[in-house]
Structure 1
Amino acid sequence: MTKSAQKYLKFLIWPGLVLLTAGLVAGFIGGWTALPVALLVGGLLLCVVAIALGGYAVGEFWRSRSTQAGTNAVVATLSLLVILGLINFLGARYDQRLDLTEAQLFTLAPESQTVLENLEQPVEVFIFDAAPNPTDRQLLESYRRFNPALTYEYVDPRAEPQLARQFGVQTVGEVYLQAGDERLLVQRINPQERLSERELTNRLDRLGRDSEATIYFLSGHGEYKIDGTESGYSQAAFSLEEEGFTVKTLNLADTPDIPTDAAAIVVTASEQRAFQPLFDTERQRLEQYLKQGGSLLLLVDPQVTTGLEPLLDRWGAELDDRFIIDTSGGGQLVGLGPAAPLVTDYGSHPITDEFENGRSFYPLSRPVGIEPKSSVEATPLLLTNPQTYAEPITASGELQIDTEAPPDGPFSIGVAFSRAAEAGAAAPAADAAASTPGTAAAGSTDAELTETEPTEPTGAESAETEPAEPAEATPTDEEPAEPSATASTAEETDTSETVAPAAAAESAANAAETGAEIRSEEARLVVIGNASFATDGLFSQQLNGDVFLNSVSWLSQVDNPTLSIRPKAIVNRRIVMTVQQQVLVAVLALLVLPGLGILGAGVMWLRRR
């Protein structure tokens, strides 16, 4: 073969190497189909021809300096590729993810992790959508990676109509959970609403539950509304429903007895809403409810009288009328002033164990103290920082702070109480026999108490006495007692707070029959010196919503409640621009800024000349 032919044949080595590389990449990525194999064979043939006929076998070629330098470069390149391959292999085998987003949006929330850890059986997620969304798949992969017991499958309802009928699929995009024979609809996804971690975690948490607990929000005294007609607790109520609770309102004036399905009762006593104190009969019903193992969440602003003060005294809860002032500047972090103390210190309690050093804030709050009681276990939940003061409102309505005095903090804004339920507790006779606040609160003709408690219109007791123990029911022929001061005052104050005599008689009969029933073995009470921290708008800020939801979950005493930090919603941070703004940005980016660069370069070139 002539030297001219060898001169051209030796260049076949380069297309041969290109074909070999393309074949290897295509084979490892797309599988060893006919195309990768053909590329490898073609590249190998070209390399063999180039080496055999292109003069590469001549000894002078291998002894040349260029060949030695080229060989070193090839060896170094291959070594680098091997190192990168090993790193990639180790990364795929032992992968670690680093989430740099502000709210850790691509990391499963602590609540999701807790729910996944507690899965008792394999769970499969069915997504009835023919086009998998990368964001949804990434979220499902995070669940599967954390606990392989959860798997997922995308199903085209048109290609598999039989499976779609088994799940009762109505529209494309429905997501279902299946664990054994149980199936739950998670949500319906579409291009505008993708798969939600919160929805998926809530449905996973509800798997295996026999029934839903009912949470009652007290109404009738100026409490926040939950129906969404005005700013109140609609967001909190919706979040409770998302977690599997049934949410209702309860007006004690219209309901003689507290419903038997009441897992917990929420009282929002707000100064902004001009909360009116509860009547003595209402307070007595709540006391009886707690004695039988009920649960109560009391959210109360400063300068608000609830009418529950005697109840709180028996539990050892002390409401301080002073305002908490935070001089550390923490309130500025959330755009508020010193009247909104920022809490980062939490007590050791199931409600707050997962919070660590997370933030929650409480605008216009009051301290909640603890008076030790032998039968009550009390745990502070929310502790302010040491740089806080507690100051009263002056007679002129001003709040004065003596910054020269040392701070009084830390203060407790929230406290959790628990005590054993009282077996055989019966409804108070004053409650059972009361007809209307304006009619005679006569002594019961079916039962009488050996001891009674004096009552006043404001709901406060004149003396610290323990609850009266019910005596054995005995017939009596005594005449009805004269109308009490409480009843007449209540009638003059609000005639709407009435209960029909027939309903009162029925209440007394029911109390006599069910007085010994115990709702649960333990009565629970949570008192927080602020009623606005979980209102609409503030509920989703920091850990405010988690404080409220964890408190309700703990109070409800459901089996295995998930008390943790819930997933946060993805915040839309896209910049929305008008057409004029878009044109301006395009002109600046494509013309003005490049033109300034070229102009500056031209000036420098001219100066150098």
Structure 2
Amino acid sequence: MKIVAKKKLWKYLFWLGPFFLVAGLTASLISSYWSPISLAFLITGIAVIGIWIILQIQNNQWLGSRSTQAGTNALVATLAVLIILGLINFLGVRYHYRADLTETQLFTLAPQSQELLHNLNQPVKVWIFDVNQNPQDRDLLENYRRQSSKFQFEYVDPDARPGLAEKFGYKDYGEVYLEYQDKRQLVQVVNPENERLSEVRLTNRLQQITTANAAKVYFLQGHGEHPLTAAESGMSQAIQGLTDKNFTTSPLNLAEAAKVPDDAAAVVVAGPKEALFEGEVQALEQYLNRGGNLLLMIDPGTDPKLENLLKQWGVTLDSRLAVDVSGQGAKQGPAVPIITDYGQHPITKEFGNNISFYRLARPLQINPVAGVQSTPLLRTKPYPNSWAESDLQSEKLEFNADKDLKGPLTLGVALEKKLPAPSSTQPNPTPSPLPSPTTQGQATPKASISPTPSASPSPTPTATPSPTPTTAAPLNNQQGEKPATESRLVVIGNSDFATDGLFQQQLNGDVFLNSVTWLSKQEDRQPLSIRPKEAKNRRLNITAAQANLLTLSSLLLLPLIGLVSAFLIWWRRR
């Protein structure tokens, strides 16, 4: 009797061992250190388990009993499950995978943002001066941090850390700052009501602060081009978009300057209504021949006298009007081509099947030219949805097989031309004129053109005789860069799409910003334009009667159907 009672006592005393063991481990994990109490629990638990095992071993029948084998198998299986779960959790923390199942990928960073973060060479940190941490803003910042270990963020209470707030020039709650090396820049001011942290702004500011030099873009003026201010048909939104992407912009009057400045990363000719002087056209040709980059946006019904320049690149401006009758669903007239077909080019590679539109556009004819690579950017739908209309006076647009051109039509094209390699015996530029004759389209050495406008009262650029293009010094737009090895040209048969009011609609602004970015050869150093992501509106607009019907059906009709069905089943079984 005593032996049996002793065995039962140790059987129950055994469970004190795991209890004390778990209690000691839990106490140490909660307190984050090994206190005397947690150590005492841990040692007691191990001692009780050890004594129980020793007593059981002394019993010869214990090792061979069926209960011991079953218990051992259960213990091994439990340990195996715990080890597997531990490995799964370890791999889950080390190598995580997130799936964004939303239609517009609301919780996934744009490819441009991801590329920028992957290319970070130095640590960058976002400071949010706010006492409240908005979950949406924090999720966005976590997405950034997952892409690069060099990206960090921190929420700061400005009242608790006034020194840090003063260092950043803090003024109000919700200010978000970006810090990179010794640079600090305000990103935006967020508030819990209607202003959340924007991926577009954060990525653009991140690009600005990590870029050493800002590329300069000149806008040709003096021929009725769109103004750069917020005037009627102005381009203030486009200018702001370039500023956000770390470009600097300036107007350019070639009738006075006589030459495109050497620091020009790109020149934009936006909708000239009057013809350019011959000297201005020659200045643009010389700029291209020495590695310049030009964006021409030419509206129908205008003649800027750029035929000779475009002919060298294989582009012809069609005098007809692009007609698209497929935009009835968008309530657009036939003179507003809607584009969803984009070429495989860095400017448009991320556009997919999204929309851009162009009010009153002219088609472009592309002819192959040796040494020039062309890629159509904007193409209309095939005939009969689109064609080039020659009769602009008719109120009813109909296709005329004798005069009109069947679609698809090209409304925009990107072109590249390799520059000839400079001669190894190229002479050093000197202020004295060179004896070689001047010909149209040849490059001009930097020192051979008068830098002051007063040197040339006429609109024709005054240039001293220049060497042949093979010995011209290519542009070097940024300090420390190699001379340009190619020139780039983008031609679009419309300029209205980049003006205020239309710039921010659909992909219109992206077409303009991406074109300038590619022309300035900045596409490798900064992301092309990205669009803010918005959730699709899936709400149902129903009347009050429909709402009452849904309420009655869900609260009364459906439960009643369930009760009747249950009663019928019960009755049949009975």
TM-score normalised to structure 1 length? 0.64
Instruction: Call closer, same or farther: CA 1:558–1:606 in 2, change over 3 Å.
Output: closer
Change (3 A) 1:195 1:149: same
Structure 2 equivalent of residue 298 of structure 1:
296
Q: After alignment, is 139-148 or 370-379 more displaced?
A: 370-379
Matched-pair contact (CA < 8 Å) for 2:286–2:442:
no
On the 8 A contact 1:111/1:566 being kept in 2, the answer is yes
Structure 2 Cα separation of the partners of residues 469 and 262 of structure 1: 15
1:310: which partner in 2?
Answer: 308
CA offset at residue 146 of structure 1?
Answer: 1.3
In the alignment, the residues of structure 2 paired with residue 32 and residue 538 of structure 1 have an alpha-carbon distance, to the nearest angstrom, of 63
TM-score computed with the length of structure 2 as normaliser: 0.67
Residue 418 of structure 1, CA deviation: 4.1
SS at match of 1:207: helix
Q: How does 1:478-517 map to 2 (within 5 A)?
A: 507=457, 512=462
1:321 aligns with 2:319: yes
* Structure 2 CA distance for aligned equivalents of residues 515 and 71 of structure 1: 98
Q: Is the 8 A contact 1:217 1:250 kept in 2?
A: yes
User: What secondary structure does 1:201 align onto?
Assistant: helix
The SS at the match of 1:312 is helix
Q: Distance in 2 between matches of 1:79 and 1:552?
A: 60
Q: How does 1:139-538 map to 2 (within 5 A)?
A: 139-191=140-192, 192-219=194-221, 221-230=223-232, 233-250=235-252, 257=258, 260=261, 262-269=264-271, 277-281=273-277, 284-293=279-288, 294-324=292-322, 340-348=337-345, 350-352=346-348, 354-355=349-350, 357-363=352-358, 365-374=361-370, 376-384=372-380, 389-394=386-391, 396-401=394-399, 410-419=408-417, 507=457, 512=462, 519-520=475-476, 521=484, 522-536=486-500, 538=502
| Partner secondary structure for residue 554 of structure 2 | helix
**2:216 and 2:247 in contact (8 A); partners too:** yes
Cα gap change, 1:80 to 1:326, in 2 (>3 Å): farther
Change (3 A) 1:101 1:21: farther
Alignment check: 8 A CA contact 2:320 2:388 kept: yes
Q: Is the 8 A contact 1:109 1:565 kept in 2?
A: no
1:526 CA displacement: 1.0
Structure 1 residue 199, shift from structure 2 partner: 1.8
Q: Offset at 1:551?
A: 0.9
Say if 1:167 and 1:307 are closer, same or farther in 2 by CA, change over 3 A.
Answer: same
Letter in 2 for 1:596: L
Q: After superposition, what is the alpha-carbon deviation per residue over 1:286-340, rounded to whole angstroms, capped at 9, x for unaligned?
A: 430341344321223444433333332343211123444568x6x5786757763
1:403-455 Cα deviation digits (max 9, x unpaired): 9xxx955543322234478999xxxxxxxxxxxxxxxxxxxxxxxx999xxxx
- Deviation per CA, 1:550-591: give whole Å up to 9, x if none: 21112234594435352424459597999x98x9979965x7
What percentage of aligned pairs have identical amino acids?
42
C-alpha contact 1:264 1:296 (8 A) present in aligned 2: yes
Residues 237/467 of structure 1: CA separation in 2 closer, same or farther (3 Å cut)? closer
The alignment partner of 1:176 has SS state of strand
Do 2:286 and 2:441's aligned partners in 1 also have CA atoms closer than 8 Å?
Answer: no
Q: Find the counterpart in structure 1 of residue 554 from structure 2.
A: 593
| 2: CA distance, partners of 1:194 / 1:536 | 24
- Looking at structure 2, the residues matched to 510 and 392 of structure 1 have their Cα atoms a distance apart, in angstroms, of 36
Secondary structure of the corresponding residue to residue 351 of structure 1: coil
Q: Distance in 2 between matches of 1:540 and 1:18?
A: 66
Report deviation, 1:546: 2.6
Q: Deviations over 1:15-52 (max 9, x none)?
A: x9999999999987996899x979x99xx99x99xx9x
- 1:132–1:23 distance in 2 versus 1, CA, 3 Å: farther
Count of aligned pairs between the two proteins: 508
The question of whether the paired residues in 1 share the 8 Å contact of 2:266 and 2:516 is answered with yes
User: Are the counterparts in 1 of residues 279 and 461 from structure 2 also a CA contact under 8 Å?
Assistant: no
Indicate the larger mover: 237-246 or 336-345. 336-345
SS class of match (1:292): helix
Say whether the 8 Å CA contact 2:178–2:186 is kept in structure 1. yes
1:247-298 Cα deviation digits (max 9, x unpaired): 3455667x555673544332333xxxxxx632342x5324303413443212
Structure 1 pair 399–155 and aligned structure 2 pair: CA distance change class (3 A): same
Among 562, 574, 579, the residue aligned to 2:526: 562
Q: Is the 8 A contact 2:211 2:525 kept in 1?
A: no
Match of 1:487 in 2: none
In structure 2, give the amino acid aligned to 1:343.
Answer: T
1:113 Cα deviation after fit: 1.9
Q: Are the aligned partners of 1:277 and 1:307 in contact in 2 as well (CA < 8 Å)?
A: no
* Equivalent residue for 1:549, pick from 513, 525, 528: 513
Q: CA deviation at 1:401?
A: 3.3
* Corresponding residue SS for 1:315: coil
CA contact (8 A) 1:546 1:566 kept: yes
The whole-number CA distance in structure 2 between the counterparts of 1:157 and 1:179 is 20
* Cα distance between partner residues in 1 of 2:233 and 2:27: 59
Q: Which runs of 5+ in 2 are unaligned?
A: 2-10, 53-64, 423-435, 445-451, 467-472, 477-483
Distance 2:230 2:157 in 1: 38
Are 1:299 and 1:529, in contact at CA under 8 Å, matched by a contact in 2?
A: yes
Contact 1:292 1:423 in 2 (8 A): no
- Cα RMSD of the aligned pairs, angstroms, is 5.6
